[in-house]
């Protein structure tokens, strides 16, 4: 068994994902359970999802604004008001030192106990979770947690110019991590997760079977965890970092 923090020990959580909608497909149910307990949750989205969408009638220049608004609306469905964007180009996120600094900056601003991100590893059973941007953002976030955010001598300009002291995150939750060890029961908040996904109109409006598809995924997760029949679960790999 892993030693994940009890939610009662957690005051703030930072979620770092590549695209608008990533957090909602993987984790919105868990986030609803966290905000319901009074935990403050901040989203940091690295791109504006400007390579996504299905409607060719929408001018591409309007996509970033549309997708930011959709992510903000989706966040509200699960109790999150603080949504930040880095504006990197969708599909071309690179593992640079600057990306690590930009994530470390927000870690030092938010001072989260728990960070949630995507997996830096490729999934060889299903290809869709392993979008290159997801892998790069997952890896850069883990690097930003350790060592960058906690080492006052890393990215010295953050302290010198912005007054941001070092901060030690206590654990990282990886959505779609290679060795799942944490299942969160989201049955009672499923409707809010579905509402969050439907808020991404440009991504999900054309998906007729969204409800059933989600229930299928979440049911399989719950079964793998040994939860009672009819329950729904999201799945993570928790990595202690303290």
Q: In the complex, which residues of this chain contact Zn ion (CB under 5 A)?
A: 19, 22
Instruction: Output the smallest distance, CB 133 to Zn ion, in A.
Output: 6
Least spacing, CB of residue 123 vs Zn ion, in Å: 13
Residue nearest Zn ion by beta-carbon distance: 19
Instruction: Evaluate the CA torsion angle 23, 37, 220, 121 in order and state its sign.
Output: positive
Which CB, 26 or 33, lies closer to Zn ion? Answer: 26
Measured from the CB atom, the residue of 155 and 204 that comes closer to Zn ion is 204
* Residues 160, 167: Cα–Cα separation, whole Å: 15
CB atoms within 10 A of CB 96: 12
DSSP secondary structure code for residue 54 in this structure: S
DSSP 114-178: EEEEE-SS--SS-SGGG-HHHHHHHHHHHHIIIIIIT-TTSSHHHHHHH--------EEEEET-S
Nearest approach in angstroms of CB 231 to Zn ion is: 26
**Tokens 């060719």 -> residue:** 56
Closer to Zn ion by Cβ: residue 45 or 186: 45
Q: What minimum distance in Å lies between the beta carbon of 18 and Zn ion?
A: 5
Query: Closest CB to Zn ion among 19 and 114?
Result: 19
The residue (of 19 and 200) whose beta carbon lies closer to Zn ion is 19
- Could you tell me if 77 and 203 are in contact, meaning their C-beta atoms sit under 8 angstroms apart? no
Tell the smallest beta-carbon distance from residue 17 to Zn ion (Å).
Answer: 7
Handedness of CA 133, 138, 143, 148 (dihedral sign): positive
CB 93, min distance to Zn ion, A: 10
Of 4 and 44, which CB lies nearer to Zn ion in the complex structure?
44
């Amino acid at each position: 068994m892993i030693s994940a923090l009890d939610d009662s020990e957690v005051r703030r959580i930072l979620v770092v994902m590549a695209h608008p909608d990533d957090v909602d497909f993987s984790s919105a149910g868990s986030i609803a359970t966290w905000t319901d307990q009074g935990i403050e949750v901040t989203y940091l989205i690295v791109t504006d999802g400007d390579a996504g969408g299905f409607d060719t009638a929408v001018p591409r220049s309007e996509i970033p604004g549309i997708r930011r608004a959709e992510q903000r609306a989706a966040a509200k469905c699960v109790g999150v008001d603080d949504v930040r964007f880095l504006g990197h180009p969708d599909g071309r996120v690179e593992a640079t030192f600057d990306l690590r600094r930009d994530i470390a900056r927000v870690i030092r601003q938010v001072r989260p106990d728990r960070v949630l991100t995507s997996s830096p590893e490729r999934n060889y059973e299903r290809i869709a979770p392993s979008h290159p941007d997801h892998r790069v953002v997952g890896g850069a976030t883990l690097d930003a947690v350790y060592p960058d955010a906690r080492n006052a001598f890393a990215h010295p300009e953050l302290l010198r110019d912005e007054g941001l002291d070092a901060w030690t995150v206590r654990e990282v939750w990886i959505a779609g991590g290679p060795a799942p060890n944490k299942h969160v029961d989201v049955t009672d908040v499923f409707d809010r997760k579905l509402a969050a996904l439907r808020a991404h109109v440009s991504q999900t409006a054309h998906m007729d079977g969204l409800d059933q598809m989600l229930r299928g995924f979440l049911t399989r997760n719950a079964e793998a965890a040994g939860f009672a029949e009819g329950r729904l679960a999201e799945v993570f790999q928790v990595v202690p970092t303290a």
